[in-house]
């Protein structure tokens, strides 16, 4: 086997994922360009968080509808809308934070901003998916309770 057989080949061409989640350091990024970079990603962010929410609600309701002591399906519209609004307020806080950090990080601010975006994106999807684990625990407890009783 050759020495370089396990080394991934990278021709330097940015992939779609890299272009979406990363930025290069640049001394010429204006506040308007910063906001534009973030706002181009708001719809995909909302779609990802929304898909995580829909998946969470589906799993939560399916697990509640099967097994012992089933419960009615739940689609709490007002809390869902409030959660979506809060997620977007926090998203806006990302580009506001990036703009406020400009004096501290200078030309590296776009790199810091992209890092804030990546962590915020993952956090929002993970937080939205958290009730899936709770639903499985609740389902397991119902099954266990039925077995014991």
Q: CA-CA distances (angstroms) from residue 16 to 100, 136, 142?
A: 28, 34, 44
pLDDT digits (tens, 9 = 90+) for 15-34: 888 888 988 888 888 999 99
pLDDT digits (tens, 9 = 90+) for 61-97: 999 999 888 888 878 899 999 999 999 999 999 999 9
Write down the domain spans for the chain: 52-148
Rounded Cα distance, 46 and 61, in Å: 22
Report DSSP letters for 91-102, one per residue: HHHHHHHHHHHH
Chain CA centroid to CA 4, Å: 35
Rounded Cα distance, 66 and 79, in Å: 24
Nearest to 71 by CA among 145, 135, 144, 148: 135
**pTM across the whole model:** 0.83
């Amino acid at each position: 086997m050759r020495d370089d057989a396990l080394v991934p080949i990278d021709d330097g061409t940015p992939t779609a994922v890299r272009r979406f989640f990363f930025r290069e350091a640049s001394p010429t990024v204006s506040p308007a360009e910063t906001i534009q970079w973030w706002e181009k990603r708001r719809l995909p962010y909302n779609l990802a968080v929304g898909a995580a929410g829909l998946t969470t609600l589906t799993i939560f309701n399916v697990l509640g509808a099967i097994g012992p002591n089933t419960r009615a399906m739940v689609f709490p519209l007002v809390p869902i809308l409030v959660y979506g609004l809060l997620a977007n307020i926090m998203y806006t806080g990302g580009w506001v934070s990036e703009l406020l950090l400009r004096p501290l990080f200078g030309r590296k601010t776009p790199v810091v901003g992209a890092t804030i975006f990546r962590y915020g994106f993952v956090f929002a999807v993970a937080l939205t998916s958290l009730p899936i684990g709770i639903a499985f625990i609740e389902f397991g407890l119902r099954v266990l309770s039925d077995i014991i009783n």
